[in-house]
A and B are shown apart, each in its own frame.
Chain A
């Protein structure tokens, strides 16, 4: 895994820096934080695009999804049903983007 999507990760054992044990917390960011890595692949900003969840039908901007970064890559989950909307994983050689959790992504038509 290269660095590009890395954030400051907690210790591998999930302990806090002071050594105290912590209950693993589902820490997540907003889809906003994926704007940079996605702009490496797309010519337009995706965080303002409105996606519809294939699982529960909720629709909302990609910037508002739950973004999990403590994984090999980025995982975006639906704020409504928690199902995976997209994953973005990069290796030294290739980048893998899955958007199978969206039925549609709606963008303003460039005009």
Chain B
């Protein structure tokens, strides 16, 4: 698979630290929800840096969106979040990965668990689910530090409208909104039992986030009876190399 030229065609601020970039790629045939692309930047002196980013948009021909959270001191994400502008050229390789993917044809319940910017590939799944008119009942458990840090919050609210078959539950780890019923805290067994599909519904399970978050969530899911082979994970390192 070759590197292809891509042009930044639009940028959109999501939160204080996260931004979505639309990349136009000639001949791009779309992707499967959950897939990622490798993005390569080349400096004037020929130095290159490559990172993997999940695709957050619904599958579309000719373009894709990546949603990038800035990693302080990072080499690539500060450029993508702060400096990249429409018209800029990058290279992409993809779409990549045939394992961490969800098919809108699946009729099994869908369980998504996101930590921070790990929402990106799961958002592609939810957008594809809505676009396809899928009736697979879906639940999203989304862990963020504080209310303003949630990416796609407004769109998730629309997607989870009554009758949509989608339920969204937030876990706030540092600060909760006024009147929130639970104290700030990490995803634990009790919250999973309340907000996630039980194992006997045999859901398709996708977990994406920082390594530690994914590790904890996947262990809790397996402890709750989910088969380890049904729990698909996508970790990104402490430096955010794979989101």
**Which residues of A line the B interface, CB within 8 A?**
3-10, 17, 27-33, 35-36, 39-40, 45, 47-48, 60-64, 69
Contacts and interface: CB of A to CB of B under 8 A. Distances in A.
A30 B50 contact: no
A6 B52 CA distance: 10
In the complex, the 5 A-B pairs of residues with the closest C-beta atoms, listed nearest first: A63-B99, A8-B239, A48-B98, A7-B241, A35-B96
25 contacts: A7-B51, A8-B74, A10-B239, A27-B238, A28-B211, A29-B236, A30-B100, A31-B99, A32-B36, A32-B99, A33-B242, A35-B36, A35-B96, A36-B50, A36-B52, A36-B94, A39-B1, A45-B98, A47-B96, A47-B97, A47-B99, A48-B97, A63-B97, A63-B98, A63-B100
Interface in B1-55: 1, 36-38, 47-52
Contact of A33 (B74, B76, B98, B241): B241
Nearest to A108: B98
B96 A8 contact: no
Given A8-B239, A27-B238, A33 B1 contact: no
Interface residues of B, number: 36
Contact of B229 (A3, A9, A36, A60): A60
A54 to B, nearest CB: 20
A69 B211 CA distance: 13
B98 A30 contact: no
A76 to B, nearest CB: 13
B63 interface: no
B181 interface: no
B42 to A, nearest CB: 10
Contacts of A27: 211, 237-238
